[in-house]
Structure 1
């Protein structure tokens, strides 16, 4: 892992030398990169680099916050382009990683204070205009950027790329722990950083599934969702870019956060997994995310009318389309909600109907808890990441889904024009179980005439005492279901992405008075 990270850093360094300037004004001459130490408020030394224009006068500035397990070399290509456009750019390695001092704070108070220390350093040591400073980060850096904007009113613009707003929802949304994502973050932290005793304790509790209330309090203090009032008071311009299939920080939290913002704001959603949409920009390759970041900062820090401030605030790139869609706000995304009732299983390969009218007869469908099927969410970072690159979503063959271990429902064929699914599908299921604790995972598929299903969205739900109902928001999606295709809902009880709460030899029963709400544009 050390070697992989070193190779990445070297590649990014090379890219920074050859990366072309963004379209627009001719590139300005720059000072070149200088490597610096930033002394944090508690005396910890953070490693950083700075590059600035050589022209006279003051300039707008941008702080770039390194991602989890990466260092300030990460943004060399982008930093060079921003400097050539007239920005003073400071990139820093967060505490606990690489050569920066201290231990990993996981977006806690020390990380938030470090972002302000970076702003202090920028003002004290460069020709930055203190009234025109922004902050941008990917992943870990994106979450810290939002938190910093809540605590430091000097930050006037934010670019949060694949960040988080609710750390508790990321770790244990719908009471379900994310095993693959947590393992990846813990492993890279151990290889490339120094976990703090607090982080080690929290992760120990996480794997042992203990002290959920303590973990919630810890995560809440690290979540911009709970600092939204401060962000709205400080009123920075906030750009959020995220992927539908983000397996580290699921996208719904960013939709909720965007909706609660009362500032100049923009939300961009695209296919892919965690940080995959913006990744090419680290090599200086033009892509839609970094183009938006540049336009956003030019608008709100340089005072250039790029038009982005007048554009609709929600931008979608649907899964299976080359179109780019604009909506004035989140409320305009969904034209209506199509409620589909879950019907009784029938046929040789038992399948219930997804119909707009309630089923005529009462029914129940009992499943063994903890049995896997071919319906799953894939591999964290990899499966949805490949979709972002290739356009091919996770695929399975619906007839091969075990009806002994999963419940399956299918709609009628979509009419001419198909269905434009836009928003958050929601499952309401009447559930009972033979054990107080349990987990189900719901998957929504586009199924063609051959029975091949392409995954639109999915989500897990865990209960800690016997439920009577599960109300489960699946992950936000934008998907065009072609005419003649069908929607299929699969519910099973195990997925390698998650740590379920099912007990061996227990059963879970789904029954009548259940439905699926499908958001249609």
Structure 2
């Protein structure tokens, strides 16, 4: 089915805005990426000098890199080394502000442009085996050409650099500590969660990759099949994504024992928080999980400009303890750190499972039948932009719940909460669905509804099915994206389900109908995790 005109306009506008933001961040400093390899004098407010160098990557390609060395290096001592692969589409100077800060604290820091992007050689492999081999090659170079300590090797990165760092920790035993910021544990579970293609996220990655790099034929084919919803290639997509998922190498990561810090944003529209939390729970070595308001890479983004940033502060503390042995207490703190979207306050927990202390049920009683392929007005917003609005202005996507047309949106509402509710963790939906077609898509939303009926989006998630017998009911269990949101006193929650969202590719044939029912022997409900 072709997307609606509204959906096409929203998608084009979103990708254009995202490309503009990427261009501002990347094209302006591009000249610096071609700097010579001679030492460059430090700025007046910093002491660590920088060198721009070429490093030979896997297969003999050239990786453009920059190297910061502590100013007191005199050839008589070794320093911990941190390797920083760049984010998707970013040039090699991405981490220079943070690299200089780390070098001033006694680290050798090597930041390099991931293969296939900007002036680095090769093609975009999307964190494939060649990217992981490159990471080890960079470590080899650092140990041979800088005063780096071979027993104190760390890796860190944002987004793409985070994924490469985690995958490298599975294959290179020299890596003792990792800080993975806005990365992924499960690539398929990120852009194909609920068996639904995350349209805007994929278009954003494809467009920015083509703008700033050289996508490999394999990547071009995967993206083409993905955006065309080619179900004949679904297993190829899953195999491709699994090969690039740190979760597939958990046994090796745990056996190697690197101390791993994970940071992400509640509203990450490329790598949703659920898959990060699931990956964290399965790690057995030293670990830390941090969630903050925002979208993809926005929680740590300002730190890339050298501005004060909690995520980068904790990253340095993590390396100080696990690479330098500093007794700074990071190993004794609550390993799960959450920042509320509503209050901005931090909360510490001993595990992800301990985040909610209770569950509040919203019964999805009765039977509701809706038409498909009509936009009800409920949606998850726009990739990158909507959750940034929530982060900086506390303005998530909104909808007027009383005005949602019940012919195209199923709506259930809770009682009013006199004392409010502190939603913490993963909301789960259980229902019975009957479709007039064998395939279809539904998107579930949870709204915080005020006295005037205006709903602020708390969380949502898509769900797609294929191969079902028409007019035969089947059970649906869906995890909505994890969050930390405070419902004010006097408000209530609303559950909304419709079939169109500009974030996703939907699979409802023309004229199809979806019916949500609640059998007596298997009642439908939404379970909301709360903190008393």
TM-score calculated relative to the size of structure 2: 0.90
Among 70, 81, 90, the alignment partner of 1:61 is 81
- Equivalence for 1:312: 334
Among 285, 303, 309, the alignment partner of 1:287 is 309
What is the CA–CA distance in structure 2 between the aligned matches of 1:314 and 1:270, rounded to whole Å? 11
Q: Report if the CA contact (8 A) 1:19-1:285 is conserved.
A: no
What secondary structure is seen at the aligned counterpart in 1 of 2:264? strand
What is the CA–CA distance in structure 1 between the aligned matches of 2:293 and 2:459, rounded to whole Å? 11
- Equivalence for 2:99: 79
Q: Do structure 1's residue 514 and structure 2's residue 517 form an aligned pair?
A: no
What is the CA–CA distance in structure 2 between the aligned matches of 1:399 and 1:81, rounded to whole Å? 52
- Equivalence for 2:425: 423
What secondary structure is seen at the aligned counterpart in 2 of 1:217? helix
Q: CA 1:273 to 1:471, structure 2 compared with 1: closer, same or farther past 3 Å? A: same
**Deviation at 1:285?**
0.4
Among 45, 48, 73, the alignment partner of 2:65 is 48
Is the deviation greater in 302-311 or in 1-10?
Answer: 1-10
Q: CA 1:402 to 1:9, structure 2 compared with 1: closer, same or farther past 3 Å? A: farther
What is the CA–CA distance in structure 2 between the aligned matches of 1:341 and 1:3, rounded to whole Å? 47
Q: Report if the CA contact (8 A) 2:267-2:294 is conserved.
A: yes
- Equivalence for 2:439: 437
Is the deviation greater in 386-395 or in 258-267?
Answer: 386-395
**Deviation at 1:54?**
3.0
Q: Report if the CA contact (8 A) 1:12-1:74 is conserved.
A: no
**Deviation at 1:80?**
0.7
Q: CA 1:195 to 1:19, structure 2 compared with 1: closer, same or farther past 3 Å? A: farther
Q: Do structure 1's residue 380 and structure 2's residue 383 form an aligned pair?
A: yes
Among 447, 450, 454, the alignment partner of 1:448 is 450
**Deviation at 1:185?**
0.6
Q: Report if the CA contact (8 A) 1:17-1:77 is conserved.
A: no
Which residues in structure 2 correspond to 1:327-338 (within 5 Å)? 327-338=349-360
Which residues in structure 2 correspond to 1:343-492 (within 5 Å)? 343=365, 363-416=366-419, 418-466=420-468, 468-492=474-498
**Deviation at 1:465?**
2.3
What secondary structure is seen at the aligned counterpart in 1 of 2:284? coil
Among 166, 182, 202, the alignment partner of 1:182 is 202
What secondary structure is seen at the aligned counterpart in 2 of 1:415? coil
Q: Report if the CA contact (8 A) 1:9-1:74 is conserved.
A: no
What secondary structure is seen at the aligned counterpart in 2 of 1:378? coil
Report Cα offsets for 1:106-134 as digits up to 9, x if no partner: 01100111111111111010001111110
Report Cα offsets for 1:298-355 as digits up to 9, x if no partner: 1111111121111011000011012100001112111122222112xxxxxxxxxxxx
Report Cα offsets for 1:134-163 as digits up to 9, x if no partner: 000001111111101111110111010000
**Deviation at 1:96?**
0.4
Report Cα offsets for 1:75-132 as digits up to 9, x if no partner: 1101111111110000000000000000000011001111111111110100011111
Q: Do structure 1's residue 342 and structure 2's residue 342 form an aligned pair?
A: no
What is the CA–CA distance in structure 2 between the aligned matches of 1:3 and 1:314, rounded to whole Å? 34
Residue ranges of structure 2 left out of the alignment (5+ in a row): 1-18, 35-40
Report Cα offsets for 1:54-89 as digits up to 9, x if no partner: 324111110011000112110110111111111000
Report Cα offsets for 1:27-55 as digits up to 9, x if no partner: 7x42x111111111311111101010132
How many pairs are equivalent?
491
What is the CA–CA distance in structure 2 between the aligned matches of 1:410 and 1:465, rounded to whole Å? 31
Q: CA 1:12 to 1:255, structure 2 compared with 1: closer, same or farther past 3 Å? A: farther
What secondary structure is seen at the aligned counterpart in 1 of 2:27? helix
Which residues in structure 2 correspond to 1:254-273 (within 5 Å)? 254-273=276-295
What is the CA–CA distance in structure 2 between the aligned matches of 1:307 and 1:189, rounded to whole Å? 40
**Deviation at 1:388?**
1.3
Q: CA 1:153 to 1:292, structure 2 compared with 1: closer, same or farther past 3 Å? A: same
Report Cα offsets for 1:238-276 as digits up to 9, x if no partner: 000000111111110000000000011000001111000
Q: Report if the CA contact (8 A) 2:33-2:92 is conserved.
A: no
What is the CA–CA distance in structure 1 between the aligned matches of 2:405 and 2:166, rounded to whole Å? 44
- Equivalence for 1:161: 181
Displaced runs of 4 or more, over 4 A: 8-13, 16-20
Among 256, 267, 271, the alignment partner of 1:234 is 256
TM-score calculated relative to the size of structure 1: 0.92
**Deviation at 1:3?**
5.7
What is the CA–CA distance in structure 1 between the aligned matches of 2:43 and 2:338, rounded to whole Å? 31
What is the CA–CA distance in structure 2 between the aligned matches of 1:145 and 1:173, rounded to whole Å? 23
Q: Do structure 1's residue 222 and structure 2's residue 244 form an aligned pair?
A: yes
**Deviation at 1:286?**
1.0
Residue ranges of structure 1 left out of the alignment (5+ in a row): 21-26, 344-362
Q: Report if the CA contact (8 A) 1:441-1:493 is conserved.
A: yes
